[in-house]
Amino acid sequence: MHLKSIVIVSLLAVVACSPQKKEKEESNSEAFEKAQDEVKEKISGVVKEMPAPSEIPFLLMETGADLDESLIHDVNNISNYSSNNNEAAVNLGVYATDVAYLSAYEKSQKALNYMTEIRPLADQLALSGSFDPKTVERFESNLSNTDSLAMIVNEAINNADDHLRKTDRPKVAALLLAGSFIEGLYIATALVENYPKELPDNARKLILIPLVDVIVKQEEPLVDLIELLESVEQDDYTSTLIKDLKGLKEEYKKLNVQKLMDEGKGSELLEDETLDNITNQMGKIRDDVTG
């Protein structure tokens, strides 16, 4: 008999002879299960507050801002994440938001190509049911309906998240949602930064102020995301991501949005140094998770 087996048998014998110890262990087990249930409930509550993958892209489209395809993540990078599930989860979320962004602007064929190409990431994370051929088929048959395309993308991510939490993989679920949120906010900030400067000032402000409003409104979801990531198992990857997102949260705190809005000076946000800092920080976070 192996040493490990002897140790296990000995421990079982001691426990069997000690009813009090057995009761204590049962009590500890119940406490552990209760704690686990509380964590799951907390995660579930936070998840409901997070924006769906299509939310930010469709808000951007509604501002009148033009599509900038240079901002979406290249599908040729998918193979870069095949050896790291953390990276695979975050980037599956990134690509899901890209699909929604393309769909919002009726770039349906390219969105369909992305839906097809990201399947390996879903397979790697045992989420093939969320991006299976039936889902792609549904997407293809609704190419002329942007609302339906958004709903299909959201459903795919919701189904993936639900499956991950049911199979006790909340960290993967949290990273998936993090990737989706990061990509949406990255696109929003980059659109403001890159918006053509040769346009007349009034025309630029007509687009940029609503864009800035989209960015400002992501402060609360950002706080929710940090809380979600802090509630799951930590490793170097998640700890670094949390630290970077907390830095972004601190920048948000410096924006004196309400005062400017109350005084009818929303356009001054366009010149606010803090907005530049948020944009730069967002770009760095996005480079780190996709690089």
Is 70 exceeded by the pLDDT of residue 164? yes
User: At which residue do the structure tokens 């426990």 appear?
Assistant: 15
- Residue 198: pLDDT band (50, 70, 90) is confident
Query: What's the half-sphere exposure (Cβ side, CA atoms, 13 Å) at 15?
Result: 11
What does pTM read for this prediction? Answer: 0.83
141: confidence class by pLDDT, cuts 50, 70, 90? very high
In tens, the pLDDT along 105-136 reads 999 999 999 999 999 999 999 998 888 889 99
The whole-number average pLDDT for the span 14-25 is 52
First to last CA, the chain: 49
2 has pLDDT over 60 = no
Query: pLDDT at residue 199 above 80?
Result: no
**Number of other residues whose CB lies within 10 A of the CB of residue 108:** 18
Instruction: Please determine, for residue 36, whether its predicted confidence score (pLDDT) is greater than 90.
Output: no
pLDDT of residue 264 exceeding 80: no
Is the pLDDT at 25 greater than 70? The verdict is no
Residues 6+ apart with CB under 8 A from 154: 52, 53, 54, 100
How far apart CA 284 and CA 256 sit, in angstroms, is 23
- Kindly state the average pLDDT of the residues 87-92: 97
More confident residue, 22 or 47: 47
| Between residues 35 and 123, the one the model is more confident about | 123
Q: What whole-number distance in Å separates Cα of residue 43 and Cα of residue 164?
A: 12
Distance CA 9, CA 211 (A): 65
- Confidence check: pLDDT of 79 > 50: yes
Whats the size of the chain, residue-wise? 291
3-state secondary structure of 52: coil
| Nearest to 63, CA basis, from 192, 223, 178 | 192
Given a cut of 60, whether residue 183 has pLDDT beyond it is yes
Q: Would the pLDDT of 193 be above 80?
A: yes
CB 98, CB 73: distance < 8 Å: yes
